[in-house]
Amino acid sequence: MENKKCVRVLAINPGSTSTKIGVFDNDKCILRTSIEHTDKDLSVFPDIPSQKDYRYNLILKTLSDNNITMESIDAFSGRGGGLECCPGGTYLINKKLYDHARTCHTIKHPATLGATLAYEFGKKYSKPAFCVNPPDVDEFQIEARITGIPGIYRESRIHALNQKEIALRYAKRVKKRYNNLNLIICHLGGGVSIAAHHKGKMIDCNDIVNGDGPMAPTRAGFIPAKPLIDLCFSGKLTQKEISGYLTKTGGLIAHLGTNDLKEVRKMMNKGNKKAKIIYDALVYQIAKQIGAMYSALKCNCSAIIFTGGMSKDKEFIKDIKTYVKKMGRVVIMPGEFELEALAAGAIRVINKEEEYQTYTGETVFKGI
C-alpha cells in the first residue's frame, strides 16, 4: 500500500487564559504547548477580537522557539465559535465564517479567535485554513428543540469538537462506522455535555451555555424557572452575576468554593457532610441526563462513553455507573482530544477522506 503524504497541521485552540497549540505530522504530535495569558496581559484589550494580533505574534514566537517554520505548515486548523448554528464537519474557512468569528456574531468567547487566527495564518502563508466541529454545531432532531413557550427553542451548545472526536475514535476502535452507531457521550470537564449520537448526528444534548442539564464544576445546569425569575427581579444580584452562574460561578464552585473534584473528595474524606451531598447530587444529575439521552435513542445504545478531565476519577465514574450500567456498555476515554480533533479534521479533508463543509451564515433551524 502506498504511504500517504505527511501532512503538517498547526492546531489552534484559544481559551480565556491560554492559547493551546499543537503541530501534527499526520497523527503524530511533534509539539504541544499552552501559551498562558495573565489577567494583566489581557486587561489592555477592550474586547476579544482585539486580542488577535497579540495571540498571533505569541504563536509565531513559540513556533520559532521550537524551530518550526511557518513555511513547513501545510494547513491551519482553529477552534471556532460565534457562528450561526451549522451542521457538523470540517469547514474550509471562508470570508463569511471569518467575519462571524471575528465579530463574535452569536457568542463572545475566546474560542472564536481560533478561526480568525487560522484564517490570518492561511492568508499570510497561502495555505488552507479550517475550522472543525465548532461549538455552534447543531444536529438536533425537531422534538429536542421544542419548549412550552412558542418562539423559545432549545439550542445545541455543547463540546462538539471533543464529542465528535471521541465518537470517531470509538468507532475506529470497534471497527465500525460512526454513522452506524448509537452512542451516549459524556464530556465531563468544567462544563458537562451529555449527548445522544444517533447514526452520526448529535440529535439531543444539554445546553452548556444557556443553563441546562446537570450542574458542573463551574455551571449551575438546570434551575427551576420560577425561583430563577424571582431572583432576577429581587434586586439582590446584577444580570451579570446571575448569568455568571450559568457558565462561571455555578455548580461546585458556588456550593463548595472549588471547581476541583479532587478537592471535593478531600472535603468528603474529612467528614464534610455538605460536600458529600453536593457530590452525590452531581453524580445523580449526570446519571439522570444519561437516562434522558438513553430515551432519546429509544433505549438502543451501543455504548456510554465518558471523556473529559473528570472521567479520570475512577471512583466518580464508578458511582455514576451504579445508575447507568444496564443501559449499555460503559467505556472510559479520559482526557480531551481537541487539538488532535482540529488536526484530524483538516487532514481528512486534505487526504480526500472527507469533503469540507461550506459555511453559509444561515442557521440550520429557523423555528416552526
Task: Residue 131: give its domain's CATH number.
Answer: 3.30.420.40
Based on the domain organization, do 291 and 342 belong to the same domain?
no
The Cα–Cα gap between 99 and 329 comes to 43
**Nearest 5°: phi and psi at 115?**
-70, -40
Residue 1 resides in a domain: no
Calculate the CA 93 to chain-centre distance: 19
Pairing of strands 28-36, 18-25: antiparallel
Q: Give the C-alpha separation, 11 to 341, whole Å.
A: 9
- Does 318 lie in the same domain as 170? yes
Instruction: Give me the domain span that covers residue 201.
Output: 162-332
Query: 299 and 204 in one domain?
Result: yes
Q: Does residue 146 sit within a domain?
A: no
96 class by beta-carbon count within 10 Å (0-12 exposed, 13-18 middle, 19+ buried) = middle
Residues 130 and 175 in one domain: no
pLDDT in tens, the chain (368 residues): 345 689 999 999 999 889 999 999 999 999 999 999 998 999 999 999 999 999 999 999 999 999 999 999 999 999 999 999 999 999 999 999 999 999 999 988 899 999 999 999 999 999 999 999 998 999 999 999 999 999 999 989 889 999 999 999 999 999 999 999 999 999 999 899 999 999 999 999 999 988 899 999 999 999 999 999 999 999 999 999 999 999 889 999 999 999 999 999 999 999 999 999 999 999 999 999 999 999 999 999 999 999 999 999 999 999 999 999 999 999 999 988 999 999 999 999 999 999 999 999 999 998 99
pLDDT at 2: 47
Taking the CA atoms of residue 257, residue 259, residue 262 and residue 267 in that order, the dihedral angle to the nearest 10 degrees is 20
Q: What was the pLDDT predicted at 247? A: 86
Tell me which residue of 187, 188, 205 sits closest to 196, measured CA to CA: 205
Decide if 367 is inside a domain.
Answer: no
Q: What is the pLDDT of residue 3?
A: 57
Cell digits of residue 247 = 457558565
* DSSP-derived 3-state class of residue 81: coil
C-alpha cell at 53: 494580533
All three cell numbers of 204, joined, read 439531543
Closest CA to 246 of 201, 297, 206: 206
Do 123 and 183 share a domain, yes or no?
no
> Residues 133, 200: one domain?
no
Q: How far does Cα 92 stand from its chain's mean position?
A: 19
Residue 57 lies in a domain: yes
Domain count, the chain: 2
Q: Give residue 1's pLDDT.
A: 38
Tell whether 151 is covered by a domain: no
Co-location of 25 and 129 in the same domain: yes
Kindly calculate the radius of gyration of the chain based on its CA atoms and give it in whole angstroms: 21
Domain assignment of residue 358, yes or no: no
Are 183 and 96 part of one and the same domain? no
